[in-house]
């Protein structure tokens, strides 16, 4: 009986791993006679084990009695923390996964998959006659943070539905539990709204696309676009919920809205520019065309959010009560020049355009709260005050997170300088379309989500952390894979595992475990950046990026 390779190479690292009593090398065999027993409430993991693990290894895993030898048993245990699990593989007894909640059982199943070796990450058996065994181990584990997120920007470059579902599976394999979908921006609107069909008929397509950073002279002169239908969104949400992943949609207001204005010109500042002449933006950067602060605009976006609240139900999975409204990078020039905007500032008794933006965000904060939902936005929404229930995505370094936590707001830490995965991974000339600071695998591994200077009460407002993937220079799924992996594995360990202080972390040990994890990623078909640098077909010679030299600011 072969013992699987990499039995201690679990990523993210579990809190405790111990051998079970008995001679070394003992293992629990899994074969066609192995049965699966699932307690009430563990049905999602039962289905996943048969459909994914069973398919990969050629194991039918039929239902059977709880006391069958070498069975796999799924149990709930309210003595454990909600997402905690205890996996015990005992020869003669089988494998038992106990979770403090159904999610905990599922995370335990992810660890079981890793213990079975890289073949368990394929879609069909490649060695159907090979003996399968789980090493005699007890793994006890629980996450450090409740919010362990990944933001996918599907607005700049559209990712078709099957690509999103694939990333849901990749997140689950790394015990991440929040998918933040950036659905709208200047360059595209990606979700069907029945009451306003031109948002996708017009707003989801641009005529051409800048290839590279906005300094690049290269263009791809063909239309780019696409959108998710309402049923696509329902499918994504349901698929993620089966894997205990919540989906948080983002609809940008009042900036980053040129695609919406191109579809419905009355949403823009018509007294300043000819909004009827606008098209979906084909270049990168920040558009000056922002939403007009009118009742027409408010009612329009209430329609949009009303439809989306039904598509993204609050009880789907972790943190699915949140709705992201962007709120960042809103140029004020058009408002300064707009008689309509100036009249609204005077009517509301506001001091300036910054307070007008705070009023705009505050309107939707109250609107969402009245419907039992929670607003979250980028850290600019702190400017001008914020309702008590709103939360903040801190992207401009640590400062926004510190200010939010000290003001009593929940915060998700996703600082640009640390966990923006569009930033380049090395300083070499072969890095494709280099953007931002160099953020190596080790840099991400040494990221600390809790900002310094917070006391214990303030630190409790840090819900967790999130890696962000902006896709301006990622024209297809292979480029997304290259930027995301392997760094997402390091980020997942930061988000899940109780690591020591950044300087004391065992990166050499993590690299040793990654040697096994690369084989899992290979089995999953992930086109990651190899440790030795990009492969020839991963390079983009001559395509200009925007590298920033030197170390990133630490705060």
The separation between the first and the last C-alpha atoms of the chain, rounded to the nearest angstrom, is: 52
Element (H, E) at 133: strand 132-135
Of residues 518, 525, 434, the one with CA closest to residue 483: 434
| Residue tagged active-site, from 271, 329, 448, 511 | 329
Annotated catalytic residue 256: yes
Please tell me the distance from the alpha carbon of residue 338 to that of residue 497, in angstroms, as a whole number: 51
Q: What are phi and psi of 460, to 5 degrees?
A: -65, -15
Annotated catalytic residue 185: yes
Phi-psi region of 285 (alpha: psi -120 to 50; beta: other; left: phi over 0): left
Residues 6+ apart with CB under 8 A from 259: 155, 184, 185, 186, 187, 188, 189, 199, 203, 204, 280, 281
CA angle 110, 6, 16 (to 5 degrees): 60
Q: What are phi and psi of 463, to 5 degrees?
A: -65, -30
Tokens of 551: 């170390």
Please tell me the distance from the alpha carbon of residue 113 to that of residue 57, in angstroms, as a whole number: 10
Please list the residues that pair with 132 across neighbouring strands. 30
Please tell me the distance from the alpha carbon of residue 244 to that of residue 248, in angstroms, as a whole number: 13
9 neighbors 113 (Cβ within 8 angstroms): no
| Residue tagged active-site, from 83, 119, 153, 185 | 185
Element (H, E) at 393: strand 391-394
Of residues 294, 336, 541, the one with CA closest to residue 428: 541
* Residues tagged active-site: 185, 256, 329
């Amino acid at each position: 009986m072969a013992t699987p390779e990499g039995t201690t190479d679990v990523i993210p690292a579990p809190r405790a791993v111990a051998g079970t009593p008995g001679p070394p090398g003992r293992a629990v065999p899994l074969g066609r006679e192995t049965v699966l027993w699932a307690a009430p409430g563990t049905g999602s993991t039962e289905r996943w084990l048969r459909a994914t693990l069973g398919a990969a290894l050629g194991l039918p895993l039929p239902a059977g009695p709880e006391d069958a030898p070498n069975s796999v048993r799924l149990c709930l245990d309210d003595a454990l923390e909600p997402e905690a699990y205890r996996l015990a593989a005992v020869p003669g007894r089988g494998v038992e996964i106990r979770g403090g909640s159904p999610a905990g059982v599922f995370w335990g199943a992810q660890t079981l998959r890793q213990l079975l070796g890289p073949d368990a990450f394929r879609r069909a058996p490649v060695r159907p006659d090979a003996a399968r065994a789980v090493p005699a181990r007890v793994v006890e584990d629980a996450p450090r943070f409740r919010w362990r997120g990944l933001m996918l920007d599907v607005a700049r470059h559209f990712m078709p539905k099957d690509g999103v579902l694939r990333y849901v599976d990749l997140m689950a394999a790394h015990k991440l539990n929040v998918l933040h979908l950036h659905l709208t921006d200047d360059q595209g609107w990606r979700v069907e709204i029945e009451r306003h069909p031109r948002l996708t008929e017009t707003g989801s397509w641009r005529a051409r696309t800048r290839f590279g950073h906005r300094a690049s002279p290269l263009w791809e002169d063909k239309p780019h676009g696409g959108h998710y239908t309402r049923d696509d969104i329902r499918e994504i949400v349901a698929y993620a919920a089966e894997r205990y992943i919540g989906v948080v949609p983002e609809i940008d207001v009042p900036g980053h809205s040129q695609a919406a204005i191109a579809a419905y010109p009355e949403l823009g500042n018509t007294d300043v520019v000819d909004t009827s002449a606008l098209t979906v933006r084909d270049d990168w950067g920040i558009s000056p065309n922002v939403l007009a602060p009118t009742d027409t605009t408010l009612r329009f976006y209430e329609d949009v959010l009303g439809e989306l609240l039904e598509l993204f139900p609050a009880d789907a999975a972790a943190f699915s009560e949140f709705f992201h409204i962007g709120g960042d990078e809103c140029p004020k020039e058009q408002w300064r020049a707009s008689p309509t905007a100036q009249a609204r500032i005077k009517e509301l008794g506001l001091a300036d355009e910054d307070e007008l933006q705070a009023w705009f965000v505050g309107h939707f904060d109250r609107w969402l709260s009245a419907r039992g939902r929670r607003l979250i936005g980028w850290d600019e929404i702190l400017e001008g005050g914020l309702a008590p229930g709103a939360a903040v995505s801190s992207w401009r370094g640590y400062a926004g997170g510190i200010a939010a936590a000290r003001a009593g707001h929940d915060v998700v830490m996703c600082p640009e300088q640390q966990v923006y995965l569009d930033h380049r991974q090395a300083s070499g000339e072969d890095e494709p379309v280099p953007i931002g600071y160099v953020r190596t695998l080790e840099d991400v591994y040494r990221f600390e989500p809790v900002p310094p200077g917070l006391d214990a009460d303030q630190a409790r407002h840090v819900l967790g952390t999130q890696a962000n993937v902006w896709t301006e220079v990622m024209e297809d799924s292979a480029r997304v894979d290259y930027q995301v992996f392997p760094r997402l594995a390091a980020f997942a360990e930061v988000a899940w595992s109780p690591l020591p202080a950044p300087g004391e972390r065992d990166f050499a040990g993590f690299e040793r475990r990654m040697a096994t994890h690369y084989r899992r990623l290979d089995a999953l078909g992930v086109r990651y950046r190899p440790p030795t640098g990009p492969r020839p077909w991963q390079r983009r010679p001559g395509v200009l990026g925007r590298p920033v030299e030197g170390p990133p600011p630490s705060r």
